[in-house]
Chain A
Amino acid sequence: MRVRKRAGVAVLLVISAGLAGCSTLDEKAPATSLIPLEGPWAAQFQTAFAKSRSSYEKGVLRDGVVTPAEYEQTKNRLRSCLDDSGYSIAWDERGGFELGSKTGSYPDDFFERSDPVLQQCESEWTGSILYLFEQVRRNPDKKDEAGIQVACLASAGLVDASYSKQRWARDNEKDDFPFDAASKEAIRCSTDPLGLWFTE
């Protein structure tokens, strides 16, 4: 592992032009007016729409809903964009994924080469679509996160009635819980606190 000797972090602003043959980016400046939406996630959709430079993304977000079909279609578009540049993608049910090489070749700078392509494809095809779908899916009414976490943990028998929302907020920030956070039940509460979709 490469280890830096001085403290601090590095920021790479990723070059995104000319990396792939996708063409949905709007050349116009982002719209400043808000699309008329209502509901618990309206503000997030409005912000994402206003910041978007992708006509595809705007088309999906415009009605304030990302349907399961749109979610899958968006994944397919991202996969196709990456495929054009020689990369493969395999998603994990919890939202993460692997970005691989179609040739099976992994030079030492594979990440430095592939991550900019990923971000370019994401800016053209996914934007905030996958993120918003996943956030809405796990908490459609945008309930208080601490409240639904504590309820889930108590229901799973991981905490007792004395475990408060404030205590959860502190423990969550430190990732230091009075139970095994890597247990199946704890992961289920973290991933799908309302028990709406996670099947693992």
Chain B
Amino acid sequence: MRIIALVAAAATVVVLGVGADMARAAEASAVECVQSVTTWQAYNKCAGVPARHWDAIKNSASKYGNWASAGQWSKQSSCWANVVSFGYSLKA
């Protein structure tokens, strides 16, 4: 599934969840900046592309980590139960 933005916005990357292919080379490059994505955290390797981890949780509020710049981890404040999908967003 791919949804095209009418107004440029951050890309949201779903690690476990509905599948799709890469949208554009630019996004693909940015995607490669974020590594070691788990239900709890994600590591941002690249400068200039802040990344933020998220958890979608069954029957509950979504949880977002801190924005992480190069060499930083975006982490959840707790290890949440009932995570149905997780991933990270890249700042536009």
Q: Do A and B interact with each other, yes or no?
A: yes
A interface residues, Cβ below 8 angstroms from B: 1-4, 6, 8-18, 25, 47, 51, 53, 88, 90, 92, 94-101, 106, 108, 110-111, 114-116, 119-120, 122-123, 128, 130-131, 134-135, 145, 169, 172-173, 175, 190
A-B contact pairs, 16 of them (CB 8 A): A8-B19, A8-B21, A9-B13, A10-B17, A11-B2, A12-B2, A12-B3, A16-B6, A51-B92, A88-B61, A92-B77, A98-B63, A100-B61, A106-B59, A128-B50, A145-B72
Nearest B-chain residue to A187, judged by Cβ: B75
Which one of A17, A111, A122, A128 contacts B54 once the chains associate, using CB atoms below 8 Å? Answer: A111
- Interface size class, chain B: 35 or more
Chain B residues positioned under 8 Å from A172 (CB to CB): 71, 73
Which one of B1, B41, B43 contacts A173 once the chains associate, using CB atoms below 8 Å? Answer: B43
Which one of B48, B64, B74 contacts A99 once the chains associate, using CB atoms below 8 Å? Answer: B64
**A2-B85, A131-B50 given as contacts; is B1 within 8 A of A10 (CB)?**
yes
Q: Is the CB of A123 within 8 A of B7?
A: yes
Could you tell me which residues of chain B, from 1 to 52, have a CB within 8 Å of some CB in chain A? 1-23, 27-28, 31, 36, 41, 43, 45, 48, 50
From residue A134, how far is it (CB to closest CB) to chain B in Å?
A: 7
From residue B12, how far is it (CB to closest CB) to chain A in Å?
A: 5
Q: Is the CB of A94 within 8 A of B12?
A: no
Interface centre among B7, B14, B69, B76 (most CB of A within 10 A): B7
Assembly CA distance A62 to B92 (angstroms): 19
Q: Is the CB of A106 within 8 A of B4?
A: no
> What would 6 more interface pairs be, CB under 8 Å, given A4-B19, A106-B59, A111-B85?
A6-B19, A12-B14, A14-B3, A96-B75, A101-B61, A119-B10
From residue A82, how far is it (CB to closest CB) to chain B in Å?
A: 12
Assembly CA distance A131 to B68 (angstroms): 9
